[in-house]
Amino acid sequence: MSSICSIYNRLKKQHPHVNSGWWPVSGKFKPVQLEIVVGAFLTQNTNWRNVEKALGNLINEEKTTAATIASTPLITLQRIIKPSGFYRQKAKRLRDLCRLISEFDGFYGNVTRGQLLGITGIGRETADSILLYACNRPYFVVDAYTKRLLLREKIIAGKEKYDEIREMFEKSLPKKVNLYKEFHALIVENEKKIRKNSNDSV
């Protein structure tokens, strides 16, 4: 059994309440996958609480479809998503992304990783979050929590590139979307708990 699989089994025992359906959605965006896309995009360089405020603003302003976001004046969209930080930059890029989604027939089923990475403002982690959680494709998400765990387990040295780490997971695990979602959720839960316990002990 690989080290990756061993980590999964251990975390599964430690956090039995965590499952693949952990990504929070209000159900007020249409389609529901759009809320995941927008959330994944806005969470760059900020925390989830700030993203929730921005998503709440979009809901209150009835900007809950790709078309309505894409057609929102830039200054208005900046105001709406301001809690997410870097709002001037994010507003333009979010509008461009939503324009693509609204014009892309079958976006969630057909968009490729290369197409997402070709969009200004979308890096590998964001692209893989969209592909895994919104499009239900087997791309493992490598975030800061993942790297922290692997460093502590001495599986990586810290100089590895993003795709090298992603491929390590994907080669070690069956290509199952729900497994990838659950494993990523377990890592996030575990690392948050470790950080909290560390802060509490200071």
Task: Assess whether 62 and 110 both reside in one domain.
Answer: yes
Q: How high does pLDDT run on average in the chain?
A: 94
Task: Assess whether 53 and 108 both reside in one domain.
Answer: yes
pLDDT digits (tens, 9 = 90+) for 74-94: 999 999 999 999 999 999 999
Can you tell me the distance from the alpha carbon of 65 to that of 44, in angstroms, rounded to the nearest whole number? Answer: 21
Domain count, the chain: 2
Task: Assess whether 9 and 37 both reside in one domain.
Answer: no
* Helical packing angle, 87-103 and 32-42, nearest 10°: 150
Assess contact for 7 and 172: CB atoms under 8 A. no
Task: Assess whether 121 and 42 both reside in one domain.
Answer: yes
pLDDT for the residue numbered 117: 95
Whether 167 is in a domain gets the answer yes
Look up residue 66 and give its amino acid.
A
- Is 1's pLDDT higher than 60? no
Which of 165-201 are b and which e, b meaning 16 or more Cβ less than 10 Å from the residue's Cβ?
Answer: bbebbbebbeeebeebbbbbbbbbbbbeeeeeeeeee
Q: Higher pLDDT residue, 135 or 199? A: 135
Whether 27 is in a domain gets the answer no
Which strand (E) or helix (H) includes residue 199?
helix 177-200
Q: What is the pTM of this model?
A: 0.93
Can you tell me the distance from the alpha carbon of 22 to that of 79, in angstroms, rounded to the nearest whole number? Answer: 28
The pair of three-digit structure tokens given for residue 182, joined into one six-digit string: 């659950």
**For the chain, where are the E strands, in sequence order?**
none
Domain limits at 80?
32-134
Task: Assess whether 17 and 37 both reside in one domain.
Answer: no
Assess contact for 127 and 133: CB atoms under 8 A. no
Question: Minimum mean pLDDT among 1-15, 52-66, 91-105, 143-157: which range?
Answer: 1-15
Assess contact for 72 and 169: CB atoms under 8 A. no
